[in-house]
Every structure is written in C-alpha cells, then in structure tokens.
Amino acid sequence: MLILAFESSAKAASVALCRDGTLLSQYTQCSALTHSRTLLPMAEDLLKNVEIPLDAVDLFAVAHGPGSFTGIRIGVSTVKGLAWASQKPCTGVSTLEAMAWHGLAAGGLICPVMDARRNQVYNALFRIKDGKPLRLCEDRPIALEELSEQLRTLGEPAFLVGDGSELTARHLSQAGLPFRMAPENLRWQSAWGVAMASADKAPGTADTLLPVYLRLSQAERERQARLEQTQS
C-alpha cells in the first residue's frame, strides 16, 4: 500500500511517502511559515522527485490531533481535499501515537509529550512490543505533576519524545524520577510516524475525517467563562 502522510500539528510540518512500511521519501520544513503555504507544495515536490503520480497513492493519512488548533485544521483540510478530489480513502491518526514510533529503537516505555501550556502536556503512554507501539492509555491533556506520579507508579525510565520533552524532563528531574530523552532528530513530530501509525487503521472517507482537539481553544474557553459570569 502506498501511503501519503501529512503532519502539521506543531511548529514543523512534514510530508512522507511510504510503501508497505518502507519510507520512500520525506520532506520536512520548520520555516515559521504557515502550514497552509508549505504543506501542499511540499507534497507536490516530494511526489515529483520520486516520480510517483498523485493518483498512484492508495491512502492519505494525517495527524488529526492533539496539537496546534490551526495546524491540525490545515492538515485535516488538506487531506480531506485530496481525498475528495481523488475519491481515495483517508485516515486520521493520533499525533501522540505517530510520535511513539520514534521510540522503536529505544524500546521500553515511550512517553510522547506536547506542550499544552498552563503546566500541562498532551500525552499518552506506549510500550514497544513486537516492533510497534502498544497503547497503554488514551490521549489526554494532563498536568505534569499528575504525569510524574503515574510514571513513578510504573517504576521505569520513560523515553521522552515530542516538543514537550524538555519541559517534562525538568519536571521529572525535580521529582527525582529517571527518564531517557530522545535525540533532537527524533524528538519532533514526523509524517513518517503518521504513515506507520495509519497502516493498521481502518480507512475512512473525507466525510468521516475529523480533527481531535482534546480540549477547547483559548478563545472558546474565554467565551465560556464570559457566559458563566453573565449567568451567575
């Protein structure tokens, strides 16, 4: 199966092309430009360079959250558009599950973390088993203090991956907990991880592909607070 995968949930954006679990090509940018300007041109350049036409793609995959609200919307909208136009299947995968694939070589307990602000991270826990990440809990926004207590209970060093790694590492150090830090080249989200995570998912359609935010945006939280003040 030929999978064209997109990752735009954080600062870096990437596109990857994989065939049956083998990476054919990956294009990554961290240029500070909006992903709406970079994502499709990256895909076009990638396909041109490997000389594979878009209509040869069997499945479009995208990290549908958690992460940046704007970045997720751009990625999901891009894949929905490609799926609609080509009448091909598509699927959304957890950003955190895609990140967990970066821990294959490390093995053990994998702890993807994305900075969710307010002393929280988006997180899920995985264990590498039979050459793939096995999910231990659902994606969630979680306070660093609560995450530290969970890791203390598990009693083994966690392999930290994601843009919240340094923040989490500082907190774990203060709590006296052991951890392993992914090297920088494996720390950030990648479309390769999205492709790998999508391979065993049931494909859907453009109509069924939806973003997963896990919590309200800041604007929605502020609106909700104003409504509660008005009603009180």
Q: What is the pLDDT of residues 24-74, one digit of tens each?
A: 999 999 876 689 999 999 999 999 999 999 999 999 999 999 999 999 999
Q: Which residues contact 208 (CB under 8 A, 6 or more apart)?
A: none
Enumerate domains of the chain plus CATH numbers: 2-95+189-222 (3.30.420.40), 103-187 (3.30.420.40)
Residue with tokens 């309200």: 216
- Mean pLDDT over 114-121 rounds to 93
Q: Which helix (H) or strand (E) holds 123?
A: strand 120-123
DSSP 33-68: S-HHHHHHHHHHHHHHHHT--GGG--EEEEE--SS-
Query: Is-cis flag, bond preceding 66, omega within 30?
Result: yes
DSSP 160-178: EESTTHHHHHHHHHHTT--
Tens of pLDDT, residue by residue over 183-229, are 988 998 999 999 999 999 999 999 999 999 987 544 444 444 445 45
Q: Say if residue 153 is exposed, middle or buried (CB neighbours under 10 Å; 0-12, 13-18, 19+).
A: exposed
Q: Is the pTM of this model over 0.75?
A: yes
